[in-house]
Structure 1
Amino acid sequence: MTTPALSTRDRIVSAASTLFYSEGIRAVSVDAVAEKAGITKRTLYYHFDSKDDLIAAYLDRRDQPNLALFKRWFCETEGDVADKVRGVFFNLAASARHPRWKGCGFLRTSAELANMPGHPAMKIGAAHKRRVEDWFSCVFEDADLGVHARTLARQTILLLDGSFAVVLLHRDPSYMETAGEAAHALIRGCAARL
């Protein structure tokens, strides 16, 4: 059984995703994306008005798969909500041990575009982080921990994004595991107050 060929637009986004994630958005030219996609630069600009639009499409493509992966790891982890949240961190740490791991594409892109807060990719990155926070908030509401779920979700996302940054800096995934243990203790502490 053969898989259907990707549309030209999908090939472009796939090529951009590979290059942007591995090398960074500023280091990759539109010419390099076109070459990797096996198209002309003119064809690329037929599908995208600018490199900025292509960067936004790259992040938009990562949004739902990343969130779905977090949800899957959460569901596959045995135990209570604290154990399951820690499982997300531990699975991320396992991913970070792969030699091609380059951190969170959303955070790396936001660092490269820090001086451009209105950039479409910044808006997509912020929306993605809000969706992850919203998901954590729903998880904590469903667990009925007796605390403000939104505050606990924000604390968890701070641990998560902080661990992305420190792991990338030190190349030591154990920092993500330590952040997972901190999230676990935080959630257990909330549950213990009930």
Structure 2
Amino acid sequence: MAKGELSTRERIVEAAGKLFYGEGIRAVSLDAVAEKAGVTKRTFYYHFRSKDDLVAAYLEARDQPNLALFQRWFAVAEGDLPARVEGIFQNLARSARHPKWKGCGFLRTSVELVNLPGHPAMVAGRAHKKRVESWLSEMLEPEVGTGAAEPLAQQLILLMDGAFSVQLLHRDAAYIEVAGQAAANLVRAAITAAEGRL
């Protein structure tokens, strides 16, 4: 396979990802995915047992790229730890201003599958959110301490996911920026508390 050429499975996942993100998973039929990927339904079923498996594969394919994006935004942000955490939110707000932005695909999928907690896509979504949370905890730990890093990372995830939800309601990225300011304040307070324990 030539470099840059997608396998059939990757083409199906990429096509599904565009459709699922744009229209929602329940609104998209397997026929539409097969057509966009340029495959037959028989070929689809050769690579996936069901639409459920495809939805999980769509989220799994977004896991590492999304985490890597957060890591890059954190790494390139200038300033201290609170400013770098806020930088993630500032970049999310910039993304949310793009006309094609429709929120967090993991959260949107979880809403569509809320009554199916064991669905493979729900498992993939939970795993992604936990990976982001664990990474944040690792970034926070050197300055806030071991005991404080994990609950602080959970608070940051709540701010982030809450900001995603409110942004979708109001279509105003300022909510994500405000969440970023709150995140920076939480980190700053945790650093001050850690310094007080020394």
* Secondary structure class of the residue paired with 1:55: helix
- Given that 1:146 and 1:190 are in contact with CA atoms closer than 8 Å, whether structure 2 keeps it comes out as no
Moved more, 30-39 or 146-155: 146-155
Flag the 1:10–1:147 CA change in 2: closer, same or farther, 3 A.
Answer: same
- Aligned match of 1:101: 101
Give per-residue Cα distances to partners, 1:62-98, cap 9 Å, x unaligned: 0000000000000000011100000000000000000
- Aligned match of 1:65: 65
- Aligned match of 2:87: 87
- Aligned match of 2:143: 143
- Aligned match of 2:75: 75
- Aligned match of 1:12: 12
Residue identity in the other structure for 1:121: A
Query: How far, CA to CA, are the matches of 1:107 and 1:175 in structure 2?
Result: 17
- Aligned match of 1:187: 187
Give per-residue Cα distances to partners, 1:44-71, cap 9 Å, x unaligned: 0111000000000000000000000000
Deviation at 1:147, TM superposition (A): 5.5
Give per-residue Cα distances to partners, 1:97-141, cap 9 Å, x unaligned: 000000000000000000000100000000000001101111111
Moved more, 85-94 or 140-149: 140-149
- Given that 1:147 and 1:190 are in contact with CA atoms closer than 8 Å, whether structure 2 keeps it comes out as no
Residue segments in structure 2 that go unaligned for 5+ positions in a row = none
Count of residue pairs brought into register by the alignment: 193
Residue identity in the other structure for 1:166: V
Flag the 1:146–1:112 CA change in 2: closer, same or farther, 3 A.
Answer: closer
Flag the 1:146–1:52 CA change in 2: closer, same or farther, 3 A.
Answer: closer
TM-score, normalisation: structure 1: 0.96
- Aligned match of 2:44: 44
The percentage of counterpart residues that share the same residue type is 64
Flag the 1:100–1:61 CA change in 2: closer, same or farther, 3 A.
Answer: same
Residue segments in structure 1 that go unaligned for 5+ positions in a row = none
Deviation at 1:4, TM superposition (A): 3.7
Q: What's the Cα RMSD here?
A: 1.2
Spell out structure 1 runs of 4+ moving beyond 3 A: 144-147
Residue identity in the other structure for 1:178: V
Residue identity in the other structure for 1:107: L
Deviation at 1:6, TM superposition (A): 1.0
- Aligned match of 1:118: 118
- Aligned match of 1:155: 155
Residue identity in the other structure for 1:104: C
